[in-house]
């Protein structure tokens, strides 16, 4: 993460922290805050007030810290610097995703907004489009992207895998947006979460197949 993207990232984390302070003041002590959601993006796991207020801002801050340190600790740090724009977009997208989730959960807990299941399909869809658009520009590294033994072993396999997975993410995000707007959030949630998992798995498979085409000599008949 570059210094130019650090400032907006810290602003996002700061907004999350302010939301937590607000939640500490207005939410009852026995409130249960959701931290996990099923395929339809309905809450299925909860924690207490303190953990719920601290978890998302803490994770978002950790993401910012890791992405700031990554070029120094990754053996391929030069590649991260070379693909700085893609790293910055991905980092801000991840931080924003946690922020929208946090604000939605706290707003619902306070009775000010609808269920997160109504918001998250749209947020996840936009996230996938944003990240998918820059995945193909990521150079080989150990921090972000589809990192398998095959992509890390071959630069060309890395590039083809990131492009394939990025396009799949964009497609899932666009279909998720269309489904949510044209039908309802429940169906949109199923489409975007299932599609994201399928796209990620397909990316892993694509990395193996790409590596195999390049490195495994076909058996002679």
Evaluate whether 16 touches 57 at the Cβ level (below 8 Å): yes
Going along the chain, which residue ranges are E strands? 33-37, 43-47
**77 found inside a domain:** yes
Confidence of residue 221 (pLDDT cuts 50, 70, 90): very low
| Distance, CA of 6 to CA of 78 (rounded, Å) | 19
| Owning domain of residue 141 | 3-215
DSSP 8-class letter at 114: -
**94 found inside a domain:** yes
pLDDT of residue 41: 73
User: Nearest to residue 101, comparing CAs of 138, 56, 156?
Assistant: 56
pLDDT for residue 186 is more than 90: no
Convert the pLDDT of each residue in 95-126 to its tens digit.
999 999 999 999 988 888 778 888 899 999 99
pLDDT of residue 7: 93
Convert the pLDDT of each residue in 77-97 to its tens digit.
999 999 999 999 999 999 999
* Number of structural domains the chain divides into: 1
Convert the pLDDT of each residue in 161-172 to its tens digit.
999 999 999 999
106: enclosing H helix or E strand:
helix 84-109
pLDDT of residue 219: 53
pLDDT of residue 185: 85
Specify the residue for token string 């796991």.
Answer: 45
User: Nearest to residue 71, comparing CAs of 5, 8, 27, 24?
Assistant: 5
pLDDT of residue 60: 96
Mean pLDDT value across the chain: 92
**122 found inside a domain:** yes
Separate counts of helices (H) and strands (E) for the chain: 7, 2
Q: Token pair of 174, please?
A: 């666009």
**221 found inside a domain:** no
| Distance, CA of 29 to CA of 199 (rounded, Å) | 40
Convert the pLDDT of each residue in 31-55 to its tens digit.
999 888 877 777 888 899 999 999 9
**220 found inside a domain:** no
Report pTM.
0.90
């Amino acid at each position: 993460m570059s210094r130019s993207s650090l400032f907006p990232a810290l602003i996002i984390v700061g907004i999350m922290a302010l939301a937590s302070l607000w939640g500490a003041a207005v939410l009852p002590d026995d409130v249960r805050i959701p931290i996990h959601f099923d395929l339809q993006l309905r809450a299925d796991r909860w924690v207490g007030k303190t953990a719920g207020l601290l978890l998302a801002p803490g994770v978002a801050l950790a993401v910012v810290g890791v992405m700031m340190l990554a070029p120094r600790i990754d053996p391929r740090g030069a590649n991260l610097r070379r693909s700085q724009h893609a790293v910055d977009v991905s980092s801000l997208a991840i931080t924003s995703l946690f922020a929208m989730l946090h604000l939605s959960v706290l707003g619902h807990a306070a009775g000010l907004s609808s269920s997160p299941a109504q918001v998250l399909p749209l947020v996840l869809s936009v996230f996938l489009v944003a990240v998918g658009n820059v995945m193909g520009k990521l150079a080989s590294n150990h921090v972000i992207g589809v990192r398998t033994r095959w992509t890390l072993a071959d630069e060309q396999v890395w590039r083809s895998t990131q492009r394939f997975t990025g396009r799949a993410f964009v497609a899932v995000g666009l279909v998720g947006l269309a489904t949510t707007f044209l039908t309802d959030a429940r169906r949109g949630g199923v489409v975007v979460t299932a599609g994201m998992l399928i796209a990620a798995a397909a990316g892993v498979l694509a990395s193996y197949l790409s590596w195999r085409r390049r490195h495994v000599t076909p058996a002679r008949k």
